[in-house]
Structures are given as structure tokens and as C-alpha cells.
Amino acid sequence: MLTSDPGRDPTAPSSFTLSDSLTARERIGLLSERQRSYLRLVLQNRSSKEIAATTGSSHRAVDKQLLKANNLLGVPTRFDAARLLADHDAGVEPLPPAITLPSDEPTFPLPPAWPTAGAAANMMTWKQVASWTTIIAIAVPLGLTAAGMAIVTLLLLLGYRPL
């Protein structure tokens, strides 16, 4: 088979297809009547050989036409293409994109616990307040203990006997 690229497999899907800029209805409109009839038979779970026997063509011709239909519709399998055609024939419209709900404000990284120019008021969530409470409850006793040990060490180095 002749191709514009000598090293390219003609049956491999190209990086740019017509389906990139077309809607599902427009892509299905590009299918030939033969491809549509083959896809309707695929929907009945028929193999390429059974389709070929029904239509009077070879199974390789059926496979080739189904591969072209897959590429036109932008789907990986013949069953997906058949499902798209069946939905189109039944008048089923694809759903619009779902509207996503706003997500919760992330807990981490924690905002500063003191007022800043960007947030003069306390706008922390309860999880952030609980995190700051835990940090302070652990850090303050550790800091006081370390400071006390440093003072005792300095007093011992200077020759004073504490307590």
C-alpha cells in the first residue's frame, strides 16, 4: 500500500486525526455506508469472517474498513466505534462536561497564625487551627526545656552552682 511516509505503517493511527476538531455527530457523518453496516454487525457480536460471509466481501476488507472507522471516530476498538454509531442512531447525545464542585481549602501548607498583609483576619479552617494548636502544644514545652538546660549549662560553666 502506498503512503506518504515510506517507513510508516499505513494501518497505524496517525498523530492527528480528523476527530481532533470534530464533534461525534460530524465524525459519524464521515463514515461510509459500508463502514456503518459493518459496525452495525459488530454490534451484534459478529466476527470479521461472519461479517464477510454476510456481506459477500473478504474478512481482510472488513478489518480494513473497521480500522478506518476506528480512526475516523477516534476510538481504540471496533466495539467502541459500534457503540458510538448505535448511540447516534438511537439519538443519544453525549453529556456535557460535568461541573466540579469547589474543593476544600488545603490543610497544608499551614498559613501563618499571625495577621499578615494578605490576611489581616483569621481565615483558617478548623483543621488548620487544630494543627497550629498541636504544634504550639509540643513546641513550647520543648523550647522551655531546652532554654532551661542552656541556662543551667551556662551557670555551671561560669562556676555558679544552680540551686
The whole-angstrom separation of Cα 61 and Cα 125 is: 64
Q: Before 109, cis peptide (omega within 30)?
A: yes
Tell the residue number behind the cell numbers 461510509, with chain if given. 32
| pLDDT string in tens for the chain (163-residue length) | 444 444 545 455 444 444 456 787 888 889 999 999 999 999 999 999 999 999 999 999 999 999 999 999 999 999 999 999 998 898 877 677 777 777 777 777 888 888 888 777 878 888 989 999 999 999 999 999 999 999 999 999 999 987 6
43: number of Cβ within 10 Å: 16
The whole-angstrom separation of Cα 50 and Cα 15 is: 32
The whole-angstrom separation of Cα 72 and Cα 149 is: 77
